[in-house]
Amino acid sequence: MDRKEFLASMLVLGGAAIVPSVAKADALERIEKLVAKASGKKIDSRLTVLLSDIHICGELKDGKSLHYPYNPTSLQLRIEEILSMRPLPANVLVFGDVAWDYGLEEDYRYAAELLRPLEDAGIKLTLGLGNHDRRAAFFKVFPQYVQTSPVKGRAVSVVALPDVDVVMLDSLAEKPNLKPRQATTVSGEMLESQAEWLKDFLAKSERPAILCAHHPPKEMPLLEKVISASPNVVGFVYGHVHYWSKIPYIIRSRVPQRMVQTVSLPATFYGDIGMAVMETNSKGACIKFSSKGYWWPQPSDNPPKEWQRRVEDTQREEVNLLF
């Protein structure tokens, strides 16, 4: 059974019959064609796509997500855009909140199928965790993160680009003994074990590093101490807030002028709708925001003029990180 047949068949999760909506959508046909065209095409190791807050709900009825039914379609449009790039990016990073709200296992299974065309085209996919995710369910669907994470019990990844290391940190502050539909902590955290690993990793590295997480750095006090002691940190990229922003982050260390450029990413969910494309070279990284609209809390056939103004104001937005 090929992928198309699999998606069109019934996927049974926990006793519930789930028919992914992509199986019935024209988008599946387009994506399959794009994957076929992309296979074997040139891949640029210095090109990376940054996505965040995809919020996929795997609980379906009549082939559509019960919650935020427009999210899979929005993500599919971003995937089509990525597969149409020439050259293709070598990496796609997703900055957490993969799941719609409570991090259910079916959310991750559905997200995995939606994202799979990227890997089918030869693009490496790296996922982070946000406050709407749950580690147990995530690790069950994506067990490779248990095997490869350098920090036990956390989904931490290092993506080695030709000119810089991109470190995806795990900022999920998951409360213990959570019930299946109980919300977890909204704010982020970094435990001592992860901070110690990061400090050691950066101290041993002679390469510049871009740190990443779902949450902004101000929500992780231990992180500032690590960055303060690590001059090779050249930037911090995060999601969570659903809008594009570029703000210098001042490190209050013994070197007063020390600052790190931060970048807040758009979502494929409500807020700024789009993605960012990062291109690196030996001197730095340029991150360009690709805006595809503004929604809150959902798409509208007749959007308010303020929404369109937001899109216009963020056109041609970019930021440069210096190595």
Which of residues 202 and 40 earns the better pLDDT score? Answer: 202
pLDDT, greater one: 253 or 280: 280
Mean pLDDT of the chain: 90
Q: Are 277 and 257 contacting, i.e. CB atoms less than 8 angstroms apart?
A: no
E strand intervals along the chain: 11-13, 16-18, 43-51, 60-61, 64-65, 88-94, 124-127, 157-160, 165-168, 209-213, 233-238, 245-250, 259-264, 271-280, 284-295, 318-322
Provide the pLDDT for residue 177. 87
- In this prediction, residue 12 carries a pLDDT of 33
Choose the weakest-confidence range: 6-20, 110-124, 157-171, 273-287.
6-20
Most confident of 13-22, 201-210, 247-256: 201-210
* pLDDT higher than threshold 80 for residue 16: no
How many angstroms separate the CA atoms of 297 and 257, rounded?
A: 40
The answer to whether 86 touches 42, Cβ cutoff 8 Å, is yes
Q: How far apart are CA 190 and CA 170, in angstroms?
A: 7
CA–CA separation, 78 and 119 (whole Å): 14
4 pLDDT above the threshold of 80: no
pLDDT in tens, 77-114: 999 999 999 999 999 999 999 999 999 999 999 999 99
- Other CB atoms within 10 Å distance of the CB of residue 304: 11
pLDDT tens digits for 309-323? 999 999 999 999 999
Q: Which of 20 and 185 is assigned the larger pLDDT? A: 185
Cis-peptide, bond into residue 297, ω within 30° of zero: yes
- Residue-level pLDDT at 27: 73
The domain ranges of the chain are 42-322
Inform me whether the pLDDT recorded for 21 exceeds 50.
no
> What one-character DSSP code corresponds to residue 24?
G
Instruction: Give 15's pLDDT tier (boundaries 50, 70, 90).
Output: very low
What integer pLDDT is reported at residue 19 of this predicted model? 31
Residue 6 has pLDDT above 50, yes or no: no
Q: What is the pLDDT of residue 62?
A: 87
Dihedrals φ, ψ of 153, to 5°?
Answer: 80, 0
- Whether 272 has a pLDDT exceeding 50, the answer reads yes
Mean pLDDT across 218-224: 92
In one-letter notation, the amino acid at residue 206 is E
List alpha helices for 84-134, DSSP H: 105-120
Q: Is the pLDDT of residue 24 over 70?
A: no
> Which whole-number Å values give the CA distances from 194 to 4, 135, 171, 197, 304, in the listed order?
40, 15, 10, 5, 44
User: How is domain 42-322 classified at the architecture level of CATH?
Assistant: 4-Layer Sandwich (3.60)
